Amino acid sequence: MTPAERTNLVQRLAAEVGLARAGVATAGPVPRADYLAQWLARGWAGEMEYLARYRELRADPRQLLPGARSVIVVADVYRQQEPTTTGDADVAASRSGTDEKGQIPVGQDQPRGRIARYAWGRDYHRVLRKKLHRLADRLREQVDEPFESRVCVDTAPILEREWAAAAGIGWIGKNTLVLNQEFGSFFFLGEIVTTLELAATPPATDHCGTCTRCLEACPTGALTAPHQMDARKCISYLTIEHRGDIDPDLRPRMGDWLYGCDICQDVCPFNRRPPQVAEPAYGLNDRNPLPPSVPLRVIQGWSQEEYDRHLAGSAMKRASLAMLKRNATIVFENCTRTQT
Ligand code: SF4
Ligand code: SF4
C-alpha cells in the first residue's frame, strides 16, 4: 500500500467511525510555532499557565511519539440540525417540565443563562477519544505494516489548530478558530500521531476575505485584531477557565452567557447553514437537562451533590460550582439591568 493509498484508507475509515473529516500532515516542527510563544509573552493566556508547559513536546509531535512520521487530524461536528441562536429559545421551551422527573425546575419567565453549544451534549473528550481509538484499531487491521500511534484529544500537548490547518481540515479564521467551508467551525479536533508513513493532504485556502463580522460582534473586544485574541477578555475564558473575580468593566459585557460564548461563531457566514453531518452524542439529551439555557436560580441553589449529579458526563464540569454561581450572579445582574 502506498502512503497515498493509506491516506485514502484513513479518510474512508474516519467517515465509517462517524467523523466529519480527516486530513494528514507530516510530523515535524509545529507550523506557526512563534504564534503561541508571542501570545504567551503578551500575557494573553491569562490563568491558563498549563499552555506554557511542555513546550518541547508541543514544538514537535515526534517528541510525543518517537519515530512519528504523520499527524492524522480529525473533525467531529457538534452542531446539530437545530435552529441557530435566534431559535434557541424555542428549543429551551421544548425542554421545560423536567420537574416531574425530579430533575431541574424550569420556568419560562425567569432570567436564564446561556450555555455554549459545545457543552450541550456528552463530554467530547470521551466520545472523540473512543472514535479515534476505533479509527486507529481499524487502520491497524488493514495496513500492511505494524505502527505505533498516540491518540490526542485536547489534553495532550499538541497545537491542534496549527495541525488542523496544516492537514487541510480548514483555515484559521480571524476569530482564531479553524473554519471549514462545508461545515463551519462548530466541531472538535482530535489527532492521532503515528509512526505510519502517510501522504499529507493539502492545506485549505483562507476564505475570510474582507469579512470582519466576528471582530465587530465580540462584545468584550477580546478579538483585538484579525487572528489575535486576548483570552483574558474572552467570555469563554472568563466563564470556564478564570477562577477569581471578574473585572467589573467586563461583567456587563458578558450578557447572558453562563458557560462559554458562541457569538463569534454564530455571526460567521460559514456557520449560516446547519451542517449535514453531526455526532448525535453532542446534541441535547436527557442526561443533562440544562442546555441550551438554564434558569439562574437553579444554578444559584445547587449543592455540590446536585452539581455532580446533573453534570455527570458533561464538559460543563470544567467550571467549578463556585464559578457557575459567580457566572449566574453576573448574568442575573445583566438581565436585571436590561429589564430596568
Ligand atoms: S467567544 Fe465571545 S467573547 Fe470570546 S472572542 Fe468570541 S465573541 Fe468574543
Ligand atoms: S466572521 Fe468573517 S472574518 Fe470572522 S472567522 Fe468568519 S469569515 Fe472569517
Residue minimizing CA distance to atom 4 of ligand 2:
214
User: How many Å apart are CA 171 and CA 178, to the nearest integer?
Assistant: 5
Domain co-membership, 291 together with 323: yes
Domain co-membership, 70 together with 96: no
pLDDT at position 86:
40
Domain co-membership, 137 together with 251: no
- Looking from the CA of residue 215, the nearest atom of ligand 2 is 4
**Do 253 and 62 meet the contact criterion of CB atoms below 8 Å apart?**
no
Domain co-membership, 102 together with 43: no
Alpha helices in the chain (DSSP H): 3-16, 33-41, 55-59, 88-94, 124-142, 160-166, 213-217, 235-240, 263-266, 296-300, 304-310, 321-339
Query: Per the domain annotation, does 203 fall within a domain?
Result: no
Range of the domain at 326: 85-121+209-274+285-339
Domain co-membership, 44 together with 180: yes
257-259 sheet: strands from edge to edge: 257-259, 112-115, 293-295
Domain co-membership, 71 together with 96: no
Query: Per the domain annotation, does 202 fall within a domain?
Result: no
pLDDT at position 88:
42
Domain co-membership, 127 together with 114: no
DSSP of 179-233 = EBTTTBT-EEEEEEEESS--PPPPPPPP--TT--HHHHH-TT--EEETTEE-GGG
Query: Per the domain annotation, does 303 fall within a domain?
Result: yes
Query: Per the domain annotation, does 96 fall within a domain?
Result: yes
If we measure between CA atoms, which residue out of 79, 122, 118 comes closest to residue 270?
A: 79
- Looking from the CA of residue 263, the nearest atom of ligand 1 is 7
CA of 255 to the centre of ligand 2 (A): 22
Domain co-membership, 242 together with 133: no
Say what the alpha-carbon torsion angle 248, 249, 255, 257 is, to the nearest 10 degrees.
-60
Residue minimizing CA distance to atom 4 of ligand 1:
234
Q: CA distances (Å), 87 to each of 91, 143, 269, 272, in order? A: 7, 46, 17, 13
Query: Of the residues 170, 194, 218, which one is the last residue of a structural domain?
Result: 194
Domain co-membership, 290 together with 223: yes
Domain co-membership, 258 together with 298: yes
Query: Per the domain annotation, does 311 fall within a domain?
Result: yes
Question: How many structural domains is the chain composed of?
Answer: 2
Query: Per the domain annotation, does 199 fall within a domain?
Result: no
Query: Per the domain annotation, does 313 fall within a domain?
Result: yes
**Do 69 and 196 meet the contact criterion of CB atoms below 8 Å apart?**
yes
| Ligand in nearest proximity to the CA of 227 | 2
Grid coordinates given for 338 = 436590561
pLDDT at position 108:
55
8-state DSSP, 32:
T
Q: Is 177 in the pocket of ligand 1 (CB under 6 A)?
A: no
pLDDT at position 340:
57
| Ligand in nearest proximity to the CA of 44 | 1
Domain co-membership, 107 together with 251: yes
Bridge partners (DSSP) listed for residue 58: none
If we measure between CA atoms, which residue out of 259, 253, 261, 260 comes closest to residue 334?
A: 253
Write out residues in the chain with pLDDT < 70, as ranges.
49-54, 82-109, 338-340
Residue minimizing CA distance to atom 2 of ligand 1:
261
Query: Of the residues 171, 194, 217, which one is the last residue of a structural domain?
Result: 194
Query: Of the residues 194, 228, 251, which one is the last residue of a structural domain?
Result: 194
Query: Per the domain annotation, does 280 fall within a domain?
Result: no
CA of 143 to the centre of ligand 1 (A): 43
Q: Is 264 in the pocket of ligand 1 (CB under 6 A)?
A: yes
Domain co-membership, 60 together with 90: no
